[in-house]
Amino acid sequence: MITTFSVFSISVTSFQAFAVEEIWEDYKGMGEMVKDIRNGDKDDDKVDYNKFRDSVVYKNAKEDVRNCIDLANKVGEKLGDYEIVRCFENTNYFEEKYIDHEEGQNTEEVNGQDSDNQNMTRSNDMSDADQIQPELEQQQQQELEQQQQQERPTLNTSGTSTSDDITENNLINELVKTGKFTQDEAKQFVSQNRQSGANITSTSDATANVTQATQTNEQKLEQEQQQQQEVHVDQNQTRSQIMANASQTDSSESDSNSTEGCDSSYPEICITKYSSKLICADIPFRNFKVILPDPHGFDSDADGIGCEE
């Protein structure tokens, strides 16, 4: 009896040890299991990864959580319950921990190589700079001398400095101030003087040219006015001559025909009945008697006197 009971006890004990419950068997969701692991209700530092992968908890978990657990089992010697908790809290935990660490090492190596390359490049640049620097200094010196030469005013035989400002701007301003020239006329005058080789070496020379130009311009204006007056006089003389000839013609016709062809509205003078419309300026007669109907309208105020002076 004793022997049989002992064998039975050993067998039951072995079966119980073999049938130890896995921590995931009572759960369908990862959240509840993680909660109990945190509280200490579940504990397994050596989780059987192959069995756990076949569990409902694993299959119901999100893909990124499963990938994290797979990586934890791969990089570690064993899969512990705390690693499952890590993946549930941060699915990138092991990827950041291990992969970033490896990348950090590679980055340090690359940075070291870049530093060496930069030092070599800097050395080469310094060597080139030592050769280029004298050339640059010489070129800059030449450019400075050319600029100074351009800015330095030229001197004529009398020692008076000349510049474009005196020959152009000042002269143009002086011309405009006289009131005899517009801006465009002044510019044209200056341009003509420069083309003709006028010697303008100072403001006094410019002023003299301005005076001369003003006088020349005034003379031109006077000549134009005189010509216009002469034309006007010629026109008046021509018109008077035409009127005199007309009067002589009218007088001749009056003498030959007596008053038979004269308009009766003007008994003191002879205006032919066949004359076109006339005005007082067209005839030489003034203050003559007018009788209606006055076809030419010489008596504008109807007082009986035509072409009153």
Domain ranges of the chain: 2-91, 163-226, 239-306
pLDDT score at 304: 94
The tens place of each residue's pLDDT in the chain, 309 residues long, gives: 444 444 444 444 443 334 456 888 889 899 999 999 999 888 888 899 999 899 999 999 999 999 999 998 888 777 889 899 999 999 999 888 876 555 555 555 546 666 665 656 565 555 555 555 677 778 888 888 888 776 655 444 444 445 566 668 888 888 888 887 888 888 888 888 777 766 555 545 555 666 676 667 678 888 888 888 777 666 666 666 666 555 555 554 444 445 678 999 999 999 998 888 899 999 999 999 999 999 999 999 999 999 998
pLDDT score at 159: 44
pLDDT score at 16: 38
HEC profile of the chain: CHHHHHHHHHHHHHHHHHCCCCCCCCCCCHHHHHHHHHHCCCCCCCECHHHHHCCHHHHHCCHHHHHHHHHHHHHCCCECHHHHHHHHHCCCHHHHHHHHHHHHHHHHHHHHHHHHHHHHHHHHHHHHHHHHHHHHHHHHHHHHHHHHHHHCCEECCCCCEECHHHHHHHHHHHHHHCCCCCHHHHHHHHHHHHHCCCCCCCHHHHHHHHHHHHHHHHHHHHHHHHHHHHHHHHHHHHHHHHHHHHHHHHHHHHHHHCCCCECCCCCCCCCECCCCCCCHHHCCCCCEECCCCCCCCCCCCCCCEECCC
pTM of the model: 0.30
pLDDT score at 76: 74
pLDDT score at 209: 63
pLDDT one-digit tens code per residue, 216-269: 767 888 888 888 877 766 666 666 666 655 555 555 444 444 567 899 999 999
pLDDT score at 54: 92
pLDDT score at 214: 64
